[in-house]
Copies of this chain bind each other. A is one copy, B any other.
Amino acid sequence: MAGTPRIAIDAMGGDGGPAIMLEGAALAAARDPSLSFILFGDESVVGPELARHPALAGRAEIAHAPEAISGEDKPSQAIRRAKTTSMGLAIAAVKQHQAEAAVSAGNTGALMAMAKLALRTMKGIDRPALAALLPTLGDNDLVMLDLGANTECDARNLVEFAVMGAAYSRCALGIERPRVSLLNIGTEELKGTDELRDAAARLRAEDHLHLSFEGFIEADRLGRGETDVVVTDGFSGNIALKTMEGTARFVADLLRRAFTSSVRSKIGFLISRPATELLRHRLDPNNHNGAVFLGLNGVVVKSHGGANAQGVANAIGVAASLVKNDLGRRIAEDLDQVRAHEVKA
């Protein structure tokens, strides 16, 4: 049921394994009393972990999976083990309506391939996309997609990403008419690739959608809070996302060096600690954990492999909000509008 989501957890994925995944589930359960869980994994490992979390008592069952997907498994190898692995079985539970969403911190490529094969893309969607929420200086987080599911995209893919990203922004952040921008290397109409210019022309024409198309945005403005959804191909999106991660870490490392460079600066750092802790909290990737595969017949959320329990709980929270707000139906309705407009035109 949409109001009381049951979440399928791949308990074996992620660097921290079952201990972190179950601690995350327990945190999410304490935050949201409507949630329940099916924990997929090796019974002999997951069982003792489950016993450690009273918050999960009566709200989680274990479903034994003899195997796990590793970080080294290629997608092609992974899909052959869909019926024996914790990841494959968690996705199958969504397909068979035993759960409303699946959350995994395992191998992204394997998760994508398995989810696509088992759940299939929604009617009218050419390719699913990976979307994430990113922090901004504005009031709301930014939805960015695609982040690596599709290395090359045509204009039609980008328009579909815009529709799916806007629906995600509405469901996860409550923004009624999200501002949508295309990532480009300039804001003038003639900049960028043919695909981008074509996608921009189509989005400008689609004025009946639940989004406000804002044209092109350059990568230095992503965190300014000037738009709600940024659409790009999976190659550029992956480059932008990872450059953000790397630059934030780079600045944090320089900051740490600066603050430990003298006794004086160490004292100043200790005094300002509450302020820098606030900054650390704001930049902590765990607080923005949970990338979503959009465009599939079912909700699948990817938690970062290195996320802590707080991060896992946030990823589960993202999954729950998408189920409760019926993301799939919203995307389907908006796609119908695009198609209806195409038929008329």
Is B238 within 8 A of A240, CB to CB? no
A240 to chain B: which residues have CB within 8 Å? 219, 239-240, 243
A311 beta carbon closer than 8 Å to chain B: no
A282 beta carbon closer than 8 Å to chain B: yes
* A135 CB to nearest chain B CB (Å): 8
Is B264 within 8 A of A246, CB to CB? no
Is B220 within 8 A of A243, CB to CB? yes
A192 to chain B: which residues have CB within 8 Å? 151, 235
Integer count of this chain's copies in the complex: 2
B247, B250, B283: the one within 8 Å of A254 (CB): B283
Is B273 within 8 A of A148, CB to CB? no
Query: Contacts A243-B247, A247-B248 given: A261-B234 contact, CB under 8 Å?
Result: no
Secondary structure at the A interface, as helix, strand, loop or mixed, is: helix
B183, B220, B236, B243: the one within 8 Å of A249 (CB): B220
Q: Which of A152, A244, A252, A264 has the most CB of B within 10 A?
A: A244
A207 beta carbon closer than 8 Å to chain B: no
A47 to chain B: which residues have CB within 8 Å? none
Residue of B nearest to A223 (CB): B250
A234 vs B186: C-alpha distance when bound (angstroms):
12
Residue of B nearest to A218 (CB): B242
A183 to chain B: which residues have CB within 8 Å? 239
A30 beta carbon closer than 8 Å to chain B: no
A241 vs B240: C-alpha distance when bound (angstroms):
9
Interface residues on A, range: 35 or more
Is A264 within 8 A of B272, CB to CB? yes
A193 to chain B: which residues have CB within 8 Å? 151-152, 235
* A252 CB to nearest chain B CB (Å): 8
A275 vs B240: C-alpha distance when bound (angstroms):
29
* A342 CB to nearest chain B CB (Å): 28
A137 beta carbon closer than 8 Å to chain B: yes
* A25 CB to nearest chain B CB (Å): 28
A274 to chain B: which residues have CB within 8 Å? 262, 264-265
Extra inter-chain contacts (7) besides given A220-B242, A258-B272, CB under 8 Å:
A137-B250, A152-B193, A193-B235, A236-B239, A239-B243, A265-B271, A265-B276
A2 to chain B: which residues have CB within 8 Å? none
A282 to chain B: which residues have CB within 8 Å? 254
Query: Contacts A151-B192, A183-B239 given: A271-B275 contact, CB under 8 Å?
Result: no
A282 vs B255: C-alpha distance when bound (angstroms):
10
* A214 CB to nearest chain B CB (Å): 17
A267 vs B218: C-alpha distance when bound (angstroms):
37
Which A residues between 140 and 182 are near B, CB-CB below 8 angstroms?
148, 151-152
A271 vs B273: C-alpha distance when bound (angstroms):
13
A246 vs B259: C-alpha distance when bound (angstroms):
23
A239 to chain B: which residues have CB within 8 Å? 183, 185, 219, 236, 239-240, 243
